[in-house]
Amino acid sequence: MQQQYDYSKFNEYLQLKGYSKETIATTINTVTYFTKWATGENITEIEELSYSEALGFIQWSSKHGASQKTVANYLLHVRKFYDFLVSEKQIETNPVAHIKVQGIKRKVYYNILTPEELQQLYHEYPTTIEHEAGKIIPPQERNILCRKRNKIIVSLLVHQGLRTEELAAIMLQDLQLREGTITIQKKRRTAARTMRLESHQVYELMDYLHVARKEYLQLRKKHNPALEETDDKLFVQWFKAEKFHNITQMLLQHLRKINSKVKNVDQIRASVITAWLKQYDLRKVQYLAGHKYVSSTEEYKENLIDELQDDVTKFHPL
């Protein structure tokens, strides 16, 4: 293989795999960097790269200032390239498939919420507004309808562990309430999956769809005549161009009043996945979490180790 390699078919392969334009550009740049290194090392048949030559690339990158994490990312992109060559039947096996860079600290999620704390967030999320005695309060109809919508969002956070972008993308047709399931569509960072709803979630979603959501749309139309009184998204907003982030930030403020340990949506999701790992096998948790790679799911095992250490300290202090 020459240095001026035609990456057009590799580019198509990455697109079919669902990678973003940014990731594809990074991958091809990294593979170009890798092939230039190979040329400099007089490795003319890169398809026949040996295990020792792959290790040589790791050592060379490290000597030239790349951190362990950066080298691991290099390998990740090069691995995609060799997977492509395998799919094209140019090689039989991926020479870097099982090479791992040691010494990289995995992501650890601190302050994991217990299942009981997660349920508390859901059950105590306020859908009413308490008025202070003697204080004049303006009409709160919109605010109350927003809270009823937000309680459904909290329910999907603590039971299904969804990401913010997944919540924002849920359409009415993604609900299968007769079957008691919800379909989460594929996003850039997560895979599509169908998840079971708790029985109380089904009833609450039905109530939200037929009452609160309809009232919210009617109120929105009244204040914004240019907007339609219909919307295909499950969670409607006051302005269609409004960022869903605004909803989650307000929601988190309410949740922190219930439990000051609450940090963000990612923390809640991590807590749900950690709880799943106690109940199900790794592959099932991978599916429920929408992880494209099982290694992503394995990272959450760190939380189980932390919990075990906390229990040992608590119940068996030295």
Give the pLDDT confidence of 203-216 residue by residue, as tens digits: 999 999 999 999 99
Could you give all domains of the chain from N- to C-terminal order, each with its CATH number? 8-87 (1.10.150), 115-315 (1.10.443.10)
CA dihedral 310, 311, 314, 317 (to 10 degrees): -90
Rounded to whole angstroms, what are the CA distances from 249 to 49, 221, 246?
50, 24, 5
Predicted pLDDT at 106? 54
> Which is higher by pLDDT, 123 or 18?
123
Over 50: is that where the pLDDT of 225 sits? yes
User: CA 46 to CA 26: how far, in whole Å?
Assistant: 20
What value does the mean pLDDT take over residues 274-285?
93
Tell me the pTM. Answer: 0.65
Q: Which residues of 275-306 are buried (b: 16+ CB within 10 A; e: fewer)?
A: bbbeeeeeeebbebbbbeeeebbeebebbeeb
Over 70: is that where the pLDDT of 18 sits? yes
* Average pLDDT, rounded, for the chain: 85
Predicted pLDDT at 180? 97
Query: Sorting pLDDT into bands at 50, 70 and 90, what band is 199?
Result: very high
Give the pLDDT confidence of 152-182 residue by residue, as tens digits: 999 999 999 999 999 999 999 999 999 999 9
Predicted pLDDT at 7? 83
User: CA 194 to CA 183: how far, in whole Å?
Assistant: 4
Only one residue has tokens 């439990």, namely 259
Name residues whose C-beta falls within 8 Å of residue 277's C-beta, 6 or more positions apart in sequence: 285, 297, 300, 301, 303, 304
Enter the tokens of residue 66.
């790349």
Give the pLDDT confidence of 241-259 residue by residue, as tens digits: 678 888 999 999 999 999 9
Predicted pLDDT at 312? 38
Predicted pLDDT at 252? 94
Predicted pLDDT at 241? 64
Predicted pLDDT at 176? 97
Predicted pLDDT at 286? 94
Over 50: is that where the pLDDT of 107 sits? yes
Only one residue has tokens 């990456």, namely 7
Over 80: is that where the pLDDT of 297 sits? yes
Predicted pLDDT at 186? 92
Query: Sorting pLDDT into bands at 50, 70 and 90, what band is 2?
Result: very low
Over 50: is that where the pLDDT of 310 sits? no
Give the pLDDT confidence of 22-68 residue by residue, as tens digits: 889 999 999 999 988 988 888 877 887 887 888 888 888 888 888 88
